[in-house]
Structure 1
Amino acid sequence: MAQILLLLLSAACLQTGNSAAHSRETVFGMNQPALLSGVEGGSIEIPFSFYFPWELAKDPQMSIAWRWKDFFGESIYNSTLHFIHEHFKDRLILNWTQGQTSGVLRILNLKETDQTTYFCRVFLQTTEGMKFWQSLPGTQLTVTRVLSTTMRSPSIITSAVTTAGLEDTGGQRDPSLLILGVMLSVKAVVIIPIYGWMIFLWWKQRPAE
């Protein structure tokens, strides 16, 4: 009885081992970060890597594509077709070389409307035919909006410039204003006696009644 149980246990272990080996041979997938965040006007990099069990064909014809918003969303990039979605024109750069199993998608000049989920898909030719797969969860990108600083109004700036010459700076007034004050004082000193002398002569020379 003990020998029968031992044989059954050994068979079970052998089956389990074969099953585990088989699953390891058929594992394939895509790695992407779950969450990323960027600032409006800045840039962000989404790293990716993939793995597979198949033997590559002599010409694997590897290709990387990206979708956004949801798993079946619009294509925004395709390395084989040299396609870039109009929304990302001149803003997408794929740092990846044919044959590599990892790379980076870079999004430049981030916009608030870029905030969504991004999915990487890979295509490759194997000895068993064309294979392709895509990340299931994708990468959720959050874009933070930058608040612009409030500028002073032109009227306030003009007013400040206009009155700057009339303000006392460091306890010293504008030399031009001091000179003007002295000139006015000198004129007053000269003109007042002259007018007084003319009035005196007129009063003295008037005919006696």
Structure 2
Amino acid sequence: MTWILLLLLSGACLQAGNSAGSKRVNSFGINQPARLSGVQGSSIEIPFSFSFPWGLAEDSQMRILWRWKHFHGEFIYNSTSLFIHEHFKNRLILNWTQTQTSGVLRILNLKKKDQTMYFCRVHLNTKEGTKIWQSIDGTQLAITPAIRTTMQSPSMVTSAVTTAGLDNTEGQRNPSLVNLRATVGVVVATAVLITPVYVLMIFLWWKQRPAD
């Protein structure tokens, strides 16, 4: 009976030791949001943080790199050489300083082609040598089109104002046009009245003239 108890105790101790060892091995990693969404033409920030169990070397030479598209995709940023991929020229900013274990990668002027996966990678020197690890899942970035507001062109606005002006003045007579029409009416009426008189006078004069 005693030897059975000893076997059970030894098995429990072995399991506890494996668990602790597993925890030490897996105590490093990188945290990133699984998904983010941005609007085309705007900017977005991808936050990240990382942890590790090793003590840093005197010269840790800590650096942050980023890949895109897939786990083994092209590098788009290197904090040491300040390398920026041509596609992201003047559009990437890393808010992070040496020895910090968190930061933000900011992408400016988002483009449709920016819609893909992004993976953070960490390099550093520890007392146990150089260590390198990278996010496995990465961050899926989705890009939505910008909402455009419809505005009338200046020519359309001018046309609308002109039409409105004509509509507002419809039925109103221009004083100068009214005066002109009145004058023409008087002249025509006078001509109609005077013409028969002149015709009659000419006829009477012709009748009364002496015969040759």
TM-score interval (norm. to shorter): 0.7 to 0.9
1:41 Cα shift? Answer: 1.1
Distance in 1 (CA, whole Å) between partners of 2:183 and 2:12 is: 120
Question: In structure 2, the residue corresponding to 1:71 is in which secondary structure?
Answer: coil
Distance in 1 (CA, whole Å) between partners of 2:99 and 2:179 is: 89
Amino acid at match of 2:31: N
Match of 1:8 in 2: 7
Distance in 2 (CA, whole Å) between partners of 1:200 and 1:165 is: 47
1:155 Cα shift? Answer: 6.2
Q: Is the 8 A contact 1:26 1:52 kept in 2?
A: no
1:124-158 Cα distance to aligned partner (Å, 9 max, x none): 11011111110111100000112434454676445
When the two structures are superposed, what TM-score results if normalisation uses the length of structure 1? 0.87
Amino acid at match of 2:54: W
When the two structures are superposed, what TM-score results if normalisation uses the length of structure 2? 0.86
**In terms of mean alpha carbon deviation, does 134-143 or 10-19 score higher?**
10-19
RMSD of aligned residue pairs (Cα, Å): 2.3
Unaligned stretches of 5+ residues in structure 2: 208-212
1:12 Cα shift? Answer: 1.4
Following superposition, which runs of at least 4 residues in structure 1 exceed 6 angstroms of deviation? none
Q: Is the 8 A contact 1:78 1:84 kept in 2?
A: yes
Distance in 2 (CA, whole Å) between partners of 1:39 and 1:64 is: 26
Match of 1:23 in 2: 22
1:22-63 Cα distance to aligned partner (Å, 9 max, x none): 122222111111111111111111111111111100111110
Distance in 2 (CA, whole Å) between partners of 1:157 and 1:59 is: 67
Unaligned stretches of 5+ residues in structure 1: none
Pairing 1:1-209 to 2, within 5 Å after superposition:
1=1, 3-27=2-26, 28-152=28-152, 156-168=156-168, 173=169, 177-207=173-203, 208=206
Larger radius of gyration: 2
Distance in 1 (CA, whole Å) between partners of 2:183 and 2:113 is: 73
Question: In structure 1, the residue corresponding to 2:183 is in which secondary structure?
Answer: helix
Question: In structure 2, the residue corresponding to 1:38 is in which secondary structure?
Answer: strand
Q: Is the 8 A contact 1:60 1:125 kept in 2?
A: yes
